[in-house]
Structure 1
């Protein structure tokens, strides 16, 4: 159990770091956009406003995708699943707390998977807050 907790804690630290750095990167891109917005009075429904929104959504998907794949690779290399496809599928639905019958999951990885669900929902919430702040900024006009 202690090994599972150590692995899960390490993954939480890694994914939170990746997530924070990813949001900083997106924020820096948005600061450039904010300067342009002041100069050009960009409407949130303009092509540029929509492009920024789509860019942020795709950026958030990329960040979450990387985090999901890290868990999946860990499961696969650790022998929790026989193939990478199953590991990615399991990690995706666990991260998003959709739920999955963990009957096929090796017992030694069950605690890691449970913590991945908690980690995923927190990171998804963080992304939601980031996205809502962006939309609020665009809608202040």
Structure 2
């Protein structure tokens, strides 16, 4: 059990750092969006912004699944990367199909990845919610400005 933690926690920290990087990219993109939104107010522009944020967050999550899959493959739990990636995706998304299980020596890595995944999906949801909220605020401010004029 201790070995699982010694191997799994650094991977979780790496994934946390990776997700923080993707959040930082989204924040940088979001600042640019806010500046452009002052000039171009359209539903298409808002939809593109939300699409980019969603795509970036998904890419961050997929990259983390790949990191866990690489670990599983390196530990010899799966013969090929594709199978390791499938198992990783099931863990990360907390689906828990149970159609593939790891050996008892490394089985605790599954719940660690699931904890990592649920936290990262929460972060992704928070970033997307913040984006939607800001778009709503900007549209409401424009509506108020036009009605006041």
Global fold match (TM > 0.5):
yes
Residue 106 of structure 2 aligns to a residue whose secondary structure is: helix
| 1:66 alignment partner in structure 2 | 63
Residue 114 of structure 1 aligns to a residue whose secondary structure is: helix
Give the 4+ runs in structure 1 shifted more than 4 A: none
| 1:131 alignment partner in structure 2 | 128
Which string of whole-angstrom CA distances, capped at 9 and with x for unpartnered residues, describes residues 93-113 of structure 1?
A: 100101121654111221111
| 2:19 alignment partner in structure 1 | 19
| 1:5 alignment partner in structure 2 | 5
2:78 to 78, 81, 86: 81
Residue 97 of structure 2 aligns to a residue whose secondary structure is: coil
Partner Cα separation in structure 2 for residue 122 and residue 90 of structure 1: 18
Equivalent positions of 1:37-52 (< 5 A) are 37-40=37-40, 42-43=41-42, 46-52=43-49
- Whether 1:95 and 2:100 are equivalent positions in the alignment is no
Contact 1:22 1:63 in 2 (8 A): yes
Count of residue correspondences: 138
Which string of whole-angstrom CA distances, capped at 9 and with x for unpartnered residues, describes residues 27-75 of structure 1?
A: 10110111111233x24xx211111111111111111010000000110
Q: RMSD value over aligned CA atoms? A: 1.3
User: What TM-score do the two structures reach when normalised by structure 2?
Assistant: 0.88
Structure 1: give runs of 5+ residues left out of the alignment. none
- Whether 1:53 and 2:53 are equivalent positions in the alignment is no
Partner Cα separation in structure 1 for residue 135 and residue 105 of structure 2: 47
Contact 2:26 2:53 in 1 (8 A): yes
Partner Cα separation in structure 1 for residue 121 and residue 104 of structure 2: 26
